[in-house]
Chains A and B, each alone.
Chain A
Amino acid sequence: MLKLQNVQTFYGNIQALKDVTIQISEGEIVSLIGSNGAGKSTTLMAICGIVPPRSGEILFMGQPITHMEPDRIVSLGICQVPEGRRIFPHLSVLENLDMGAFLRKDRSQIKRDMEYLFELFPLLAQRRHQAGGTLSGGEQQMLAISRALMARPKLLLLDEPSLGLAPLIVKRTFEIVRKINTENKTTIFLVEQNANLALKVAARGYVMENGRITLTDSSENLLANEGVKKAYLGF
């Protein structure tokens, strides 16, 4: 479904991604783990067209999207929940969700999707007229995921969904991720520093170090791998 082939990106003269090759099939949950500054978020921003690669190719369902405008990429069905959630702080919860559905025209269907999400996250329904910036971290996470789902993505990119959240909410977030994957058949690419969590929900994983993919395997094998254990799992 998604294929990154020898992708290289630069911020000015600093190379952020070196020869990154990643492949994700339809219906999978795949994780990308690595330490802070390894280039994980840059990988997602490259896929979304925010930081276009200098060389290499990105294919989505066989179509090259390497130098496409970000809004075209969203319209093809790729959505990202970025690091730090980036809720529009002065838009209400409802307006944030509206923005998630910005490119859709089917009003009645949009309404139904919103009802579905409000059922899934009753707290958001209660706060629908409140400004996004006044929500708690956990509520913002739910809103960020909901906003992405409003676009009905085929591929959902999640950047550090566990960051800065209480353990209980992290657990709930990952349950939701699994639910989205099984119920909506949405393919998920999960970026995490918390390797333990990521590898438990994903079937396969990639390990990134200094902008390079250094290892890829099934989650099971990665969890058992000595190097991964030492570097990312803390034993």
Chain B
Amino acid sequence: MDYFLGLFLGGLTRGSIYALIALGYTMVYGIIELINFAHGEIYMIGAFTALIVISVLTLMGMNTIAILVIAGVIAVVYSSAYGYTLEKIAYKPLRAAPRLSALISAIGMSLFLQNYVLLAQTSDFLPFPNLVPDFEFMEPYAHIIGSAEIVILITTAIVMILLTILIKFTNIGKAMRAASQDKTMALLVGINVNRVISFTFVVGSATAAIGGVLIASHIGMINFYIGFIAGIKAFVAAVLGGIGSIPGAVLGGFVLGWTESFATGYISSDYEDVFAFLFLVLILIFRPQGILGRSDKHKA
């Protein structure tokens, strides 16, 4: 039973990270119907920014929790700036172009950012310090779930709640939903749609950066390529849940996390990715709009 519970919570943790990244894919798709393939790179840049900040602050001898929080905040700001700029230079000029052009631009930006980090840093894996201390109250449960995992789960929950409030109740959140449903009408009521799109990129990048910092500190090493595989997995999660749907991205992330966790735990860790993608194929065959996606004619 403990084994099962361990796998369940492990899957939930892993799923949280997928969900944090998948949110960016799904929000951007919801508003401009573009798969932002450079999104995984934003997550990677978030992790690198945090690593640099952590190295500096550690030299200064700060307390670890404070370091983690400061590094997280700076990573979020930095990644958001990247997301914002990415949209301005790679997607906005192609707004009226055929969809394929923007998609190619996205892949180009992904390659560019990977190689830019490769040149600026190194191709080797860099150690990422684990900053979450082992909480004493967690000790009796240590065989099921670690302290770092608890931190990931709690942070994810907070981010999800804040995001829900933002989208459901604030003016800019309502404007995001309005613009994703009918852009012309959004313009006609006076919404500055360009600003809403920029904002969407900023929010999506921020959640991805949080995911990046959390997972890097959990796994303990990063390199320029981590954004690619995480990005693909998160993309699978977004499609699983129904691309364009925010609750869908979260659910898709969890489902994918559990699939991988249980497949690894009960069958073999060699097949982890196989199961994730097998699941994607099955969903695409039997429920192409995803678990929570609506088969909206307007959106087709």
Contact = CB atoms under 8 A, between A and B. Distances in A.
Interface of A: 48-50, 69-71, 74-75, 79-80, 82, 86, 88-91, 95, 98-100, 102-103, 147, 151
A86 B190 contact: no
Given A82-B184, A86-B184, A88-B182, A100 B189 contact: yes
B52 interface: no
Contacts of B182: 86, 88-89
A71 B183 CA distance: 12
Interface in B47-89: none
Contacts, number: 63
Chain B binding site: helix, strand, loop or mixed by DSSP?
helix
Interface stretch (B6-14, B124-132, B173-181, B221-229): B173-181
A70 B194 CA distance: 11
22 contacts: A48-B188, A71-B187, A71-B191, A71-B192, A74-B188, A75-B190, A80-B188, A86-B184, A86-B185, A88-B181, A89-B181, A89-B182, A90-B177, A91-B174, A95-B174, A95-B177, A95-B178, A99-B175, A99-B178, A100-B189, A102-B171, A151-B189
Nearest to A92: B174
Interface residues of B, number: 17
Interface string B182-204: 10111111111000000000000
Contact of B177 (A50, A79, A88, A103): A88
B171 A151 contact: no
Contact of A151 (B175, B177, B187, B190): B190
Nearest to B181: A88
A129 B189 CA distance: 20
Contacts of A79: 188-189
B177 A102 contact: no
A95 to B, nearest CB: 6
Name the residue in A74, A88, A90 with the highest tally of chain B Cβ atoms < 10 Å from its Cβ.
A88
B298 A102 contact: no
Across the A-B interface, give the 8 residue pairs with the lowest CB-CB distance, nearest first. Answer: A74-B190, A70-B187, A86-B185, A103-B190, A71-B190, A71-B192, A88-B181, A99-B189
B185 A82 contact: yes
